[in-house]
Every structure is written in structure tokens, then in C-alpha cells.
């Protein structure tokens, strides 16, 4: 028993010493990884790439901190605008995610929270920030780094649109993402989960009204007219008279009424004309609206925008 205890004690002692040596080796490697130079190079590369030539990041005299300098070498941090300060802070945080501000945190797993990162930024910088955050999304999806989850909170609808754009998403949220809206009715904060992206473009919102079986008879004409204007006139450059010529009788009159508003009133003060129509008239308008896309060879777009509501739409 004594021999066994002595042998195990020696093994424990040897293993403990080996563990201590490995920890020292890890610390030495982490010291190399926490060099400030890669961050300086990374931030300056982004600033140069996007045309920020008024200032750059440099290493301080002690070699372990950063400073902002002008092209002539003078200090720049006192003269930066609020937007520039916000952008530089974001870039520092973005590169910090790849490493750590201490030797012991380089290899830690992270959960990242961006809380309204585009405050005081113009549209150009907003686009850069959204692009960089989307790169982190790709890294999390691929599981190639220490970032395991990313939260993005914002009040900026345009930034939300940019940062959430994913050409592979089809309607509902993808399996690795969720969408939430935080509301504060009265003094109580509520978090609402959405199965799909709750923020849509105005064009998508117009189509959502067409898909809605409880659509308003009062506004449906304007909704159809706005869609036709956006898709065929502004984006497609199609002559409305050419489209109207493909219809006959009552349907031709309905088609003309839709495009007459596009031609005459959509860019003036009186750009919302409301006419009360009954349900049967609405059905006629919806039928012609559908036929316009069909006759122009764009039914695939109509089909895509109607989605599941297509089977419930006006039948020929």
C-alpha cells in the first residue's frame, strides 16, 4: 500500500509540474497574440480602403497602447467628429473580438452584443459597419472562431435592413437566426419574437396589403397603382400605353385607370386619391392587376411577391 501511494504521489507531482509548464507556454503564446500591431494594421487598412485619409492609428511610445494621429504626426483624438469617434471605437471593438485586451482572454469563447453601433454615423460608414458585422455572422455560422453568438440591437431601420440582408433567406428566419422587437407600452418592456424579418421595405409592405384577405376597399386602388409605378415605370421603364393596349373592353378601362394615376398624380401634392369601391369592383381590379404581370411576362415576380396567398388570389 505504501509503495502504491508513493508511486501515485510521484505521478501526481510529475503531472502537476507538466501542467504548470504548459500553462507557462500558453501564456507566452498569448503574449505574442496580444500584440497591438495586428490591430493597428487592420484598422488602418479599413480606414485607407474606405477613403479616411485625415487620421490613422499608431502605436504609443510604450508599445502596448494606441493613439490617433494626423498625416503630419500630430495627435488627432481632440479634433475628431462624433461620427469619427464612434467609427474608430467600433473598429477597435471589432478587432478586439479577434483577440483580447489581456493575455489570459485570447482563447475564450465570446457572446457579442452590438447595441446601436451606428449612432451619429453617415450612410457610408453605416454600410461599412453593417458589412463588417455580417462577416462576423458568417464566422459564427461556419464555427471557425471563438465567437459563438451575436446580438444586434438598433433603432435604425436602414441599418437593420443592411445588416439582416441574406439572399438565401426565403420568408421565415433561417435556422441559425431569430428576430425580435422590443416594445415598451406604459412602463413595461416586452420582447416579441417574430418568425420572419419584421422590418420590410415599403414595396414589400404594399404587396402585403394585396396578400391580405381583409384588405381595405378604400385604399386598394392606391396600393395597386404604387406597385405598378415602382415595378413597371420607375424600375422597368415600361410604357403604360403599351401595357394598356394588351387589354380590351372593361379590363382596358380598369388598366387605364390604374396607370392614369401613375402618369398624372403620383409626384404631386394630391398623390393619394381615395375612391370607395365595393368588393366586386376590387376583384376586377385585382384580376387586371394580376393580368398585367402575366401579359408583360413578369408573372414569376407576381408569384414570388404573393407567396402562399397566390392560391387565394383572383382566379381567371
pLDDT per residue as tens digits for the range 73-84: 888 878 888 878
pLDDT cut 70: percent of the chain above it: 82
Please indicate, yes or no, whether residues 128 and 233 belong to a single structural domain of this protein. no
Among residues 111, 145, 165, which one ends one of the domains? 165
Residue 261 clears pLDDT 70, i.e. is over it? no
Q: CA angle, 269 as apex, 227 and 240 as ends, to 5°?
A: 35
Residue 10 maps to a domain: no
Residue 191 maps to a domain: no
Please indicate, yes or no, whether residues 143 and 243 belong to a single structural domain of this protein. no
Element (H, E) at 199: none
Q: Specify the 3-state DSSP secondary structure of 201.
A: coil
Residue 170 clears pLDDT 70, i.e. is over it? yes
Residues spanned by the domain of 215 = 202-312
Residue 177 maps to a domain: no
Whether the CB-CB separation of 152 and 144 falls below 8 Å is answered with no
Please indicate, yes or no, whether residues 120 and 218 belong to a single structural domain of this protein. no
pLDDT band at 270 (very low <50, low <70, confident <90, very high): very low
pLDDT band at 17 (very low <50, low <70, confident <90, very high): very high
Among residues 165, 186, 210, which one ends one of the domains? 165
Please indicate, yes or no, whether residues 157 and 49 belong to a single structural domain of this protein. yes
Please indicate, yes or no, whether residues 136 and 44 belong to a single structural domain of this protein. yes
pLDDT at 311: 57
Distance between CA 125 and CA 46 in Å, rounded?
Answer: 11
Please indicate, yes or no, whether residues 209 and 161 belong to a single structural domain of this protein. no
Candidates 90, 82, 97; CA nearest to 50 is 90
pLDDT cut 90: percent of the chain above it: 13
Residue 219 maps to a domain: yes
- Going through 106-262 in order, the beta strands assigned E by DSSP cover 110-115, 147-153, 179-183, 190-194
Please indicate, yes or no, whether residues 153 and 66 belong to a single structural domain of this protein. yes
pLDDT band at 102 (very low <50, low <70, confident <90, very high): low
pLDDT at 277: 57
Please indicate, yes or no, whether residues 62 and 111 belong to a single structural domain of this protein. yes
pLDDT band at 113 (very low <50, low <70, confident <90, very high): very high
**What is the pLDDT averaged over residues 214-237?**
76
Residue 189 maps to a domain: no
Please indicate, yes or no, whether residues 232 and 135 belong to a single structural domain of this protein. no
Cα–Cα distance list, 89 to 25, 82, 85 (Å): 32, 11, 6
CB 307: neighbour CB atoms within 10 A? 13
Model confidence pTM above 0.85: no
Please indicate, yes or no, whether residues 71 and 141 belong to a single structural domain of this protein. yes
pLDDT at 314: 44
**Residue 94: CATH number of its domain:** 3.40.50.300
Residue 68 maps to a domain: yes
Residue 182 maps to a domain: no
Amino acid at each position: 500500500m505504501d509503495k502504491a501511494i508513493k508511486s501515485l504521489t510521484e505521478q501526481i507531482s510529475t503531472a502537476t509540474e507538466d501542467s504548470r509548464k504548459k500553462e507557462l507556454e500558453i501564456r507566452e503564446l498569448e503574449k505574442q497574440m496580444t500584440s497591438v500591431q495586428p490591430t493597428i494594421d487592420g484598422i488602418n487598412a479599413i480606414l485607407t480602403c474606405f477613403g479616411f485619409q485625415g487620421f490613422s492609428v499608431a502605436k504609443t511610445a510604450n508599445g502596448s497602447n494606441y493613439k490617433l494621429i494626423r498625416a503630419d504626426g500630430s495627435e488627432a483624438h481632440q479634433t475628431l467628429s462624433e461620427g469619427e469617434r464612434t467609427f474608430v471605437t467600433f473598429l477597435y471593438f471589432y478587432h478586439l473580438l479577434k483577440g483580447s485586451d489581456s493575455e489570459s482572454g485570447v482563447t475564450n469563447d465570446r457572446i457579442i452584443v452590438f447595441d446601436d453601433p451606428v449612432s451619429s454615423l453617415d450612410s457610408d460608414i453605416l454600410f461599412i459597419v453593417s458589412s463588417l458585422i455580417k462577416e462576423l455572422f458568417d464566422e459564427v455560422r461556419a464555427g471557425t472562431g471563438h465567437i459563438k453568438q451575436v446580438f444586434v440591437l438598433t433603432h435604425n431601420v436602414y441599418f437593420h435592413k443592411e445588416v439582416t440582408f441574406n439572399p438565401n433567406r426565403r420568408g421565415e428566419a433561417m435556422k441559425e437566426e431569430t428576430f425580435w422587437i422590443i416594445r415598451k407600452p406604459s412602463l413595461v418592456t416586452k420582447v416579441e419574437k417574430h418568425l420572419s424579418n419584421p422590418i420590410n421595405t415599403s414595396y414589400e409592405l404594399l404587396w402585403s396589403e394585396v396578400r391580405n384577405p381583409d384588405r381595405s376597399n378604400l385604399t386598394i386602388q392606391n396600393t395597386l397603382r404604387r406597385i405598378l409605378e415602382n415595378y413597371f415605370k420607375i424600375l422597368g421603364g415600361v410604357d403604360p400605353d403599351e401595357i394598356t393596349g394588351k387589354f380590351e373592353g372593361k379590363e382596358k378601362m380598369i388598366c387605364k385607370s390604374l396607370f392614369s394615376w401613375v402618369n398624372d398624380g403620383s409626384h404631386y401634392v394630391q398623390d393619394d386619391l381615395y375612391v370607395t369601391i365595393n368588393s366586386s369592383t376590387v376583384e376586377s381590379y385585382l384580376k387586371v392587376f394580376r393580368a398585367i404581370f402575366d401579359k408583360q411576362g413578369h408573372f414569376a415576380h407576381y408569384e414570388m411577391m404573393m407567396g402562399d396567398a397566390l392560391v387565394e388570389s383572383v382566379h381567371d
